[in-house]
Amino acid sequence: MRWTERQLGMLKEMGVAAFWPMQPMQPMQPMQPMQPMQPMQPVPPANAAREAAPYASTEPGAGRADASAARALAAEAIAQAGRGGDGGHGWPDDAHRAPAASPSEARPQSPRPPARVASAVPATAPPAAPEVVLGSRPVGIDTMDWPALREAVSGCQACGLCQSRRNTVFGVGHEQARWMIVGEAPGEQEDRQGEPFVGRAGQLLDRMLAAIDLTRGEAGPDRQVFIANVLKCRPPANRNPLPQEVAQCEPFLLRQMALVRPDLIVAMGRFAVQSLLKTTDPIGRLRGRVHEVAGIPVVVTYHPAYLLRNPADKALVWDDLCLAREVQARRRQGA
């Protein structure tokens, strides 16, 4: 049906806003199928009592008879709540407790102190100190040649680390290298492969050496370094070496230093530095100057594994390598 202008004007005058202005009809959306109705939950007794109670006391103008009836209604609701316990709804009483029926019960209850809850995290006992197991060390290490020294290390049982190692890690490189790199102890990959400084830290060391034209690969003694660790066997789970283990293993490293007779040693990492220099000072206090062990200059710096976590300190290590290069140059000129 279409309205004339006159009819529209009349409808407007009559205030029939529903037809003014005319909106084009929207196509109807298909009806959604009705969801099945959820069965109604019975009102919990607590709610019933709460709903009934106000009428018993606050209805304005209620007569005495009405008030009595309301009180009776409230009492009945409360009685139902009391009978119900959890009302069979599975609600815990604490969560849906009905209002108290007597004035004394109606007083607000003082808040309960929070229950003590046993901590879910068991108290952690400090890790037990690793047991020190020492055996007999091969004799005559300080006079061994390279083959004897290699054999002595591979069969060494002078400390408990021999029980958990896969391989001893003797060292690699040129036996008359000008530079000797000393690290700490084998990690997991070193233990598997029997070579020091492998994995990401080893790759970083290779790049650092390449930056000063050195290598662990085949080359002459001017360019190929010799790399060894203070400890020849891996501490379990990469724990810190024990002083007794370091002491037992130290003669092997000292003999390697004596056989290589490098121009200088670069000690990398806290344990290597502190073991070689017999100090507990941190690297930050020891780097930047030249130390000496068995007549060989020692420059200390951070371990490549540390640099992987703290790349900003690569600049410090670069300074240390430049210092080492200067020391070697002076030594060469003086030789």
Give me the residues that bind ligand SF4 (CB under 6 A), please.
153, 156-159, 161-162, 168, 231-233, 245, 248-249
Cβ nearer to ligand SF4, comparing 159 with 307: 159
Query: Mutual orientation of helices 64-84 and 45-57 as an angle, nearest 10°?
Result: 160
Cα 292 to Cα 252: distance, rounded to the nearest angstrom: 18
Cβ nearer to ligand SF4, comparing 138 with 221: 138
Q: Residue 269 in contact with residue 183, Cβ under 8 Å? A: yes
Tell me whether the omega of the peptide bond preceding residue 103 falls within 30 degrees of 0, making it cis.
no
Q: Residue 176 in contact with residue 146, Cβ under 8 Å? A: no
Cβ nearer to ligand SF4, comparing 45 with 241: 241
Neighbours of 116 (CB within 10 A): 6
The CB-of-182 to ligand SF4 minimum distance in angstroms stands at 14
The CB-of-300 to ligand SF4 minimum distance in angstroms stands at 22
* Residue 73: partners with Cβ closer than 8 Å, 6 or more residues away: 52, 55, 56
Cβ nearer to ligand SF4, comparing 249 with 321: 249
Cα 31 to Cα 9: distance, rounded to the nearest angstrom: 36
Cβ nearer to ligand SF4, comparing 178 with 270: 270
Ordered DSSP codes for 262-315: -SEEEEESHHHHHHHHT----HHHHTTS-EEETTEEEEEE--HHHHHH-GGGHH
The CB-of-149 to ligand SF4 minimum distance in angstroms stands at 11
Cβ nearer to ligand SF4, comparing 40 with 139: 139
The CB-of-161 to ligand SF4 minimum distance in angstroms stands at 4
The CB-of-147 to ligand SF4 minimum distance in angstroms stands at 16
The CB-of-163 to ligand SF4 minimum distance in angstroms stands at 9
Cβ nearer to ligand SF4, comparing 161 with 324: 161
The CB-of-203 to ligand SF4 minimum distance in angstroms stands at 25
The CB-of-168 to ligand SF4 minimum distance in angstroms stands at 6
Cβ nearer to ligand SF4, comparing 170 with 302: 170
| β-pair type (264-268, 179-183) | parallel
Ordered DSSP codes for 226-258: EEEES-SSPPGGGPPPPHHHHHHHHHHHHHHHH
Q: Residue 276 in contact with residue 293, Cβ under 8 Å? A: yes
Structure tokens belonging to residue 322: 């430049």
The CB-of-190 to ligand SF4 minimum distance in angstroms stands at 12
Q: Residue 288 in contact with residue 320, Cβ under 8 Å? A: yes
- Among 279, 280, 324, residue whose Cα is nearest residue 301: 324
Cβ nearer to ligand SF4, comparing 44 with 160: 160
* Residue 10: partners with Cβ closer than 8 Å, 6 or more residues away: none
